Amino acid sequence: MERRRTRSWKRIAGLEIALGLLILAVIFVLAVNRDMKRAEGELLKNVEYMKEQCNDSEIRDLASEAKSLLRVTESVEQICWRLENGEDIQNSDGTDAKELANWAKDCYMDGLILLDDRGNIQNSTDTSGFGCAEVLGMVELDALMDTLSFSEKSYALRVTLEDESHIDMAAVGRKDGKGVVVGYFYTSSVYARTINNSIRAIVSGFTMEMNGTIAISKGNQIMISNNRDLEGTKIEDIRILKRIMERGTGSKMTYARNDNNLLSHYFGLMDKSKDYYIYAFMDEHKVFLTTLPNVLYALVVYIMAVAVVDMLLWRIDKIYQQKEAMAQREYTAALEEKNKQLQEAVVQARKANAAKSNFLSRMSHDMRTPLNGIVGLLKIDEDHFEDQELVKENHKKMQISADHLLSLINDVLQMSKIEDGTVSLTHECIDLNKLFEEIVTIIRGKALEAGISWESEKEKSAVSYPYVYGSPLHLRQIFLNIYGNCIKYNRPGGKVSTRVETLEEHDGICTYRWTISDTGVGMSREFLEHIYEPFVQEKNDARSVYHGIGLGMSIVKELIDQMGGSISIESEPGKGSTFMVAIPFEIAPAPTQHPDENTGKTGDISGLHLMMAEDNELNAQIAETLLEDQGAEVTVVYNGKQAADLFETNPAGTFDAILMDIMMPVMDGLTAARTIRALDRPDAKTIPIIAMTANAFKEDEEKCLEAGMNVHLIKPLDIEKVKQTIEGQVRVHQ
């Protein structure tokens, strides 16, 4: 698990690094492009500015040149006018040399040259220091002589010398055709540089925003630059300027290596302004000013983002690990609990096996004892059948043994139902006073037989609300068990007393408490801690002496708990016991009594024709004899199919009721009941079908009722109850 988590984190780290490199690469490319565009824009802006300044300077220079040439031309024309108006001096060459110098001075010229019609110098004066012949050598003589042929034409030009000095010259043909007058004005290099210093001032005082370099050249030589070291150098001597020049003019930025550092580069561009070439360039460190900060900023932001994401992932992973650990702990705890439960189940299974063996051993003893008595008494009756008194007495003893055996079986079945959770309490309206009268009637007779006196606090025994909802069968079972123990474990001449009181009443619920006391043998404190456990008895001889198996109080406790009540016991050995039972009841309205409600319940079945389906011949013979003794006519069949066929083949009204066993061959009783109910005849739906079966569980009763039977009677049968049931069902369905 830890190795898998480590691999997962490594994969995440690899993805983060790859993504980071990709983002940084994109940021780097964008930042480089942005910086290059910004630098290119800055260089272009500076070049355009210097271009405008150079254009302005050239315009000013041209204007100055034009004015100077115009002035020289006008001065030469004035000399021509003087010559034409006879002011010349009659010398061999036509003029006076001294007067010619004065004319030049008057016209602010540094030299005058008079040429004949063949271009030869007739007379001249010069104060420039060059000499007239040298000055004439600077221009084409033919161009000068053209003015002689075209008297209206004048010739003017500026000759720039290597030291930046210049000569402004003009030539005008004489009107009289005798020759050409040439005049010129010399401007020294010092003065010429003073004029050019206006551009130099602009360049030297100019500072680029990104600390770049501006250079202006005429031809192949740098004239002016804000870096004075570049002035006078040639373009091809500077790598970046040579590269820019090779690329041509325009606004496209190019780059070249630094001459002093091969790892460094310059970026620059060039544009042209008439006679000037304007260069602008800068070091790459000035170009990419924001690239590195942007990349570093992006790196920091990305690292912070990755840190936040990793922290969240770590937190999520931590929570997941905690949940995983908790789940593992829960799983381990559940596994341990399951193992514990399995161990407990093994222990319980062993206990259950031991209890089963113990139960079978006890039941074998407890069932064989009354059976042994019955078998023995039957043998005695067989040997002494002539002694009617002995036989009669033995019959009473056999009845007692049979009742004890039946009680034993009923207790075992009831406990089995309770343990399986199949006990279903009914919700019937009952009269508590009447119910306890019936219970007292049963118990008082047993008490008198045992020599036990019965006491009841009559003034306190009346309950506040006699009509309540409850389960009468199970209430009888609770109190018959308690009273039975009070009588069974009492001493001769002892007594049993009962007190009933109302504990509380609210919201339609009334809680009663019964306090039942006896003067019997009592119980020890140790035994009271286990009294509600099945098959527990304080003394080993209790089965033999008191004929009990230790299920009574277990059944009582479970039933009271299901009713939402409570039971407590106070007892001491030799001082008797006191049972306190508190049970809550839902208060019921008093039922309306009808005059004929209790009439006709005499159990008279004389004259009734009954069908009985019973596969056991002995049980069939016993039931047939008992019913016929009560005046009924009985037809016996031995399986469900015979019962269905017999009913179908006889006309309606032949039988008044059907007594149906459940477990039979060929066709069981449930199927037979459904078959009869499905017949297409009126009495098939109304004839009473009474189940008589040894199946005593609640689900067995429900199956019988679902199959269409009317009543469920449990074997062994009580003939009085059978009579009353048959008579009641026949009367209802008549």
- Asked whether residue 83 carries a pLDDT value surpassing 50, the answer given is yes
Distance in angstroms (rounded) separating the CA atoms of residues 160 and 141: 18
Cα(first)–Cα(last) distance of the chain, in Å? 81
The count of structural domains within the chain is 4
Quick one: 376 exposed, middle or buried, by C-beta within 10 A (0-12, 13-18, 19+)? Answer: middle
Digit-coded pLDDT (tens) for 572-583:
998 899 999 999
CB atoms within 10 A of CB 346: 10
Distance in angstroms (rounded) separating the CA atoms of residues 154 and 334: 123
Task: Report whether 498 contacts 514 (CB < 8 A).
Answer: yes
CATH number assigned to the domain comprising residue 262 = 3.30.450.20
Residue 324 lies in a domain: no
pLDDT grade, residue 460 (50/70/90)?
very low
In the predicted model, what is the mean pLDDT of the chain?
80
594-603's contacts with Cβ under 8 Å and 24+ in sequence apart are 600/727, 600/731, 601/724, 601/727, 601/728, 602/727, 603/720, 603/723, 603/724, 603/727
Three-class SS state of 590: coil
Digit-coded pLDDT (tens) for 593-646:
544 444 445 568 899 999 999 998 888 888 899 899 999 999 999 999 999 999
CATH number assigned to the domain comprising residue 435 = 3.30.565.10
One domain, residues 583 and 628? no
Task: Report whether 669 contacts 640 (CB < 8 A).
Answer: yes
CATH number assigned to the domain comprising residue 84 = 3.30.450
The domain boundary residue, chosen from 287, 306, 322: 287
Residue 617 lies in a domain: yes
Report how far apart, in Å, the C-alpha atoms of 341 and of each of 327, 333, 335, 337, 348 are.
20, 12, 9, 6, 10
One domain, residues 161 and 241? no
pLDDT average, residue stretch 194-223: 67
One domain, residues 34 and 183? yes
Residue 524 lies in a domain: yes
CB atoms within 10 A of CB 17: 11
One domain, residues 233 and 113? no
pLDDT average, residue stretch 70-79: 85
pLDDT grade, residue 179 (50/70/90)?
confident
Digit-coded pLDDT (tens) for 228-282:
778 778 888 887 788 777 766 566 787 777 666 666 777 888 888 777 788 888 8
Digit-coded pLDDT (tens) for 335-349:
888 888 888 888 877
Task: Report whether 510 contacts 564 (CB < 8 A).
Answer: no
The domain boundary residue, chosen from 253, 287, 321: 287
pLDDT grade, residue 41 (50/70/90)?
confident
- Asked whether residue 43 carries a pLDDT value surpassing 60, the answer given is yes
Can you spell out the DSSP letters for 376-424?
HHHHHHHHTTT-HHHHHHHHHHHHHHHHHHHHHHHHHHHHHHHHHT---
Residues 46, 50, 51, 57: what is their CA dihedral angle, to the nearest 10 degrees? 170
Task: Report whether 316 contacts 9 (CB < 8 A).
Answer: no
Backbone angle region of 267, left / alpha / beta, with phi > 0 → left and psi within -120 to 50 → alpha: beta
One domain, residues 489 and 582? yes
Choose among 709, 116, 694: nearest CA to 406: 694
Residue 392 lies in a domain: no
**What residue spans of 489-597 are helical by DSSP H?**
525-528, 542-546, 552-562
**What residue spans of 421-505 are helical by DSSP H?**
432-449, 458-461, 472-488
pLDDT average, residue stretch 318-328: 84
- Asked whether residue 549 carries a pLDDT value surpassing 80, the answer given is no
Task: Report whether 728 contacts 601 (CB < 8 A).
Answer: yes
One domain, residues 6 and 71? yes
Token pair recorded at residue 463: 């309950």
* Confidence (pLDDT) at 187: 84
One domain, residues 577 and 684? no
Mean pLDDT lowest among 53-62, 270-279, 444-453, 502-511: 53-62
Residue 41 lies in a domain: yes
One domain, residues 51 and 75? yes
pLDDT grade, residue 1 (50/70/90)?
low
Residue 641 lies in a domain: yes
Distance in angstroms (rounded) separating the CA atoms of residues 554 and 534: 6
CATH number assigned to the domain comprising residue 640 = 3.40.50.2300
pLDDT grade, residue 709 (50/70/90)?
very high
Distance in angstroms (rounded) separating the CA atoms of residues 95 and 108: 19
CB atoms within 10 A of CB 355: 14
Residue 256 lies in a domain: yes
One domain, residues 34 and 131? yes
- Asked whether residue 461 carries a pLDDT value surpassing 50, the answer given is no
- Asked whether residue 414 carries a pLDDT value surpassing 70, the answer given is no
One domain, residues 430 and 576? yes
The domain boundary residue, chosen from 191, 225, 246: 191
Distance in angstroms (rounded) separating the CA atoms of residues 85 and 90: 13
One domain, residues 56 and 129? yes
* Confidence (pLDDT) at 136: 85
* Confidence (pLDDT) at 667: 94
- Asked whether residue 545 carries a pLDDT value surpassing 50, the answer given is no
One domain, residues 67 and 157? yes
* Confidence (pLDDT) at 360: 63
| Residue type at 253 in one-letter notation | M
- Asked whether residue 546 carries a pLDDT value surpassing 80, the answer given is no
Residue 397 lies in a domain: no
Report how far apart, in Å, the C-alpha atoms of 49 and of each of 280, 372, 431, 728 are.
11, 138, 122, 130
Show the domain range for 614: 609-732
pLDDT grade, residue 90 (50/70/90)?
very low
Quick one: 422 exposed, middle or buried, by C-beta within 10 A (0-12, 13-18, 19+)? Answer: exposed
Choose among 468, 565, 537, 453: nearest CA to 508: 468
